[in-house]
Amino acid sequence: MSRHSLSHARPSLALSSMAVGLLLLTSACGVRPKPLTLHDHIARADADRAAVEAHYVPLKGDLTLGTAIARALKFNYDAQVAKLEINQQEKQVDLSLMQMLPHLAADAGYTQRSNNNAAESIDWFSNQRSLDYSYSEQKAHGAGDISFSWNVMDAGISYFSARQQSYRALVAVERRRRAINDLVKAVTTTYWEAAAGQVMLPRLEPIIKSAETMLAASHSAATDHLQSPLLLLDYQQNIIQILGDLRRIRDELVGARIQLASFIDVPQDMPLHLTTLPQAVQPVAELDTPALERMGLIMRPELRMEVYQQKIARQDVYKEILKMMPGIGAIGNGNFDSNALLYHNIWGQIGVRGTINLINLIQGPQAISVAKSGVQISEIRRMALSVAVLTQVNLSIQKYRTSLDGLQTAREINTVSLDMERLANVAATAGAQSEGDRVRHQMAALLGQLSYSRALAQTHQALANIYASIGVDLVPATADIQDLDHLTAQVEHSIAGWQAGKLPDVSITDNTGGTGTTPAPAPTTADKPVAMDQTPTSSIPG
């Protein structure tokens, strides 16, 4: 290149460098995000509110416990996310299987030079020029190739990765089981509270207003010194304590109705008529604690998830062992070049190649040790979960027994308070007792009725907690929740035993031919019943 052309090239190079620098600077400034404005947040909130209200599904007729659970399973966003996660993990399994296929790539291009790629040759021994300038490539030509490669070690690693992904899909199934069980437990608890509120709130509000009126009158009497200060203070203390309990219970019952409306996906101001009311509880005749403990260890989703996590960790051990082995692979390609100066412009190539990473031989034992530690940690974590499950099962059994005792106490208190209210009304009518004392006994009687109604609901909840602690599926994780009527019928059939105070049969024969503790309700795959100790599997075997 001449000096004149070089002097012209330098400014062009400088301008190009400045343009590239300016482009990089602009890109760097564009990477830094700008915070959303208040207007953006308002628009987003309005859009979310409109989307939530648009998804409300009208409630047809009365609301039973089965309908509430079915609607929650169908419309609750957490349950939908858990279902979508299963679908996502299953797609990941298919993608992992594709990673085991050979690599197949196609490449094509076109090049053009301003002059021919001419060159001379120098003899190696004599260091003399042996040929004139010549070229074997046209100025413009196109080339393309398709290549195939497959490595045994990469395929093996992909195989174990696919197995890991298949276990993750099974973990997603168990995670959805847990989400369903948690949702059923929450809906059941909220429904019984709302049912108690439906019965007691209409009677609660007038009593609270009467008590507030009587308390204000007592303050006026104290100001006018119409009665003994000590008697007035004692009376006010009793009224305030009972009034505080009534207000607290009222807030809890109203809150339960709001929460229930959220679960079943209806507007908060929509009137609900609950028809499944807490009736007299039939205590479970006998609770076989060892059988329930074994059922919990078999069926709890958390333990099953941890088993799959341990299998996932074990695949890492196999992968690290495989990385220490030599990788043997086959390669092949077909090529085409439009260069007319070539004698063969279409040709094929095939070969075998073996490679080994020497660094893996050094760090491999340590990597295998780390992977084995992951398996051991998962084992210990599962043992810790097993202890926690056993504790939860025993606590749920104890709470159920305590709830039965509390129900009996609440029933007796309710009977006594109703008798006191009746006698107070008679005495007030005869003029032997003040109106304030009559209202105070009426409040105490209502508080006793509230306690008894809530004790009934808590007993039903305690029985449902036993089901949750042992991992019984009210609705299988793979059940179809699109058909609301079918889902409602399935839920109603499943909770019929709950309302009758019956636990599932814990002496059903297992797959080994012995006597196990698998419960009667069974998970399903595509509405086809299978045994409870069977789990839907993915494409890769365990």
393 pLDDT more than 90: yes
Q: Hunting for tokens 């009518």 — which residue is that? A: 429
- Which residue did the predictor score with more confidence, 122 or 238? 122
**Distances in Å between the alpha carbon of 347 and those of 20, 146, 274, 344, 505?**
41, 11, 80, 7, 72
pLDDT at 143 over 60: yes
Which stretch of 172-181, 281-290, 516-525 has the lowest confidence by average pLDDT?
516-525
Position 255 pLDDT exceeds 80 = yes
pLDDT the model gives residue 381: 92
Per the structure block, which two tokens stand in for 529? 């019943």
Mean pLDDT of 222-250: 77
Place of tokens 């070690």: 153
Structure tokens at 155: 């395929």
C-alpha 23/C-alpha 36 separation (Å) is: 26
Of the given ranges (220-224, 258-262, 352-356, 504-508), which has the lowest mean pLDDT? 504-508
Q: How confident is the model at residue 303 (pLDDT cuts 50, 70, 90)?
A: very high
**Residue of higher predicted confidence among 156 and 437:** 156
Return phi, psi of residue 122, to 5°: -115, 130
pLDDT band, residue 8 (cuts 50/70/90): very low
Question: In this predicted model, which residue has the larger pLDDT, 424 or 145?
Answer: 145
What pTM does this model have?
Answer: 0.71
Report the range of poorest mean pLDDT among 125-134, 191-200, 387-396, 510-519: 510-519
- Secondary structure (DSSP) of 12-79: HHHHHHHHHHHHHHHHHHHHSPPPPPHHHHHHHHHHHHHHHHHT-----S-B-HHHHHHHHHHH-HHH
Q: What is the pLDDT of residues 45-83, one digit of tens each?
A: 888 888 777 777 778 778 888 889 888 888 876 666 766
Three-state DSSP class for residue 190: helix
Least confident of 31-35, 162-166, 366-370, 392-396: 31-35
Residues 111-123, mean pLDDT to the nearest whole number? 86
In this structure, of 131-135, 423-427, 435-439, 483-487, the range with the lowest mean pLDDT score is: 435-439
What pLDDT score does 411 carry?
Answer: 87
516 pLDDT higher than 60: no
Which range (246-260, 263-277, 397-411, 433-447) has the least confidence? Answer: 433-447
**Better pLDDT: 186 or 239:** 186
Beta strands in 203-317 (DSSP E): none
Mean pLDDT in residue range 483-502? 76
pLDDT of residue 25: 62
Q: What is the pLDDT of residue 16?
A: 62
The answer on pLDDT for 224 being more than 90 is no
Average pLDDT over residues 392-408: 91
Of the pLDDT bands very low, low, confident and very high (cuts 50, 70, 90), residue 302 is: very high
Residue carrying the six token digits 């019929």:
496
pLDDT digits (tens, 9 = 90+) for 315-346: 999 888 888 888 888 888 899 999 888 888 89
**pLDDT at 519 > cutoff 50:** no
Contact 532, 518 (CB under 8 A): yes
- Look at 24-38, 139-153, 284-298 and tell me which has the smallest mean pLDDT: 24-38
Q: How many CB atoms lie within 10 A of CB 99?
A: 14
Q: Which residue has the tokens 């009996």?
A: 408
Indicate whether 26 pLDDT > 70. no
- pLDDT at residue 529 tops 60: no
pLDDT at residue 395 is higher than 90: yes
The pLDDT, as a whole number, for residue 537 is 36
Identity (one letter) of the amino acid at 377? I
Q: For residue 200, how far is the Cα from the chain centroid?
A: 35
Band (4; pLDDT cuts 50, 70, 90): very low
| Average pLDDT of the residues of the chain | 78
Residue 304 — pLDDT band, cuts 50, 70, 90? very high
Residue 108 backbone class (left: φ over 0; alpha: ψ -120 to 50; beta: rest): beta
446-485 pLDDT per residue, tens: 888 888 888 888 888 888 888 888 888 777 666 667 778 8
